[in-house]
Amino acid sequence: MTDLRIRAATPEDLDSVLAFWKVAAEGTSISDDRTGVERLVARDPEALILAERGGELAGTVIAGFDGWRCHLYRLAVHPDHRRQGIASALLAAAEERFVRLGGRRADAMVLTRNETAHRAWGAAGYGPEEQWRRWVKPLTD
């Protein structure tokens, strides 16, 4: 995987990231728009991590750290690049970031119905905690 480049996203990448998620990511979130991703990158410029191969976007992960917990979102690899170690490289970069920031444990948002993601997260050493349930409340319409 010598041609794989891992780097933080810049504001110039955001339109391509949003288009990429429509192809490569499962499910959507209220924050999956230009305003939400701009806010993320402005607040924490290293949180959105990209994998590029041959100059093309091949994968993403959001590695958010709030000073208390390490949260992983939007681990997505383009269908043409799956099973080539890109997700592993992205998670390694995210985990290195968390350790550097003093993080102690990472958690991931994974859709219940996304069996492909379950296998990928499990292979990376993550597992579900069945005793927890996510509760949400949208703050905007």
Q: With 90 as the cut, is the pLDDT of residue 113 above it?
A: no
**Domain range enclosing 101:** 4-123
| DSSP code of residue 12 | G
Q: Is residue 138 part of a domain?
A: no
Judged against a pLDDT cut of 90, whether residue 31 lies above it is answered with no
**How many whole angstroms separate alpha carbon 123 and alpha carbon 8?**
24
Which segment of 48-52, 84-88, 110-114 scores lowest on mean pLDDT? Answer: 110-114
Whether this prediction's pTM lies above 0.85 is answered by: yes
Q: Is residue 30 part of a domain?
A: yes
Residue 141 resides in a domain = no
- CATH classification of the domain holding 37: 3.40.630.30
The total number of structural domains in the chain stands at 1
The CA distance from 102 to 108, in Å, is: 17
Q: At what angle do helices 14-24 and 34-43 cross, to 10 degrees?
A: 120
Section 78-89 average pLDDT: 92
Q: How confident is the model at residue 141 (pLDDT cuts 50, 70, 90)?
A: low
Q: Is residue 132 part of a domain?
A: no
Coil, strand, or helix at residue 60? strand
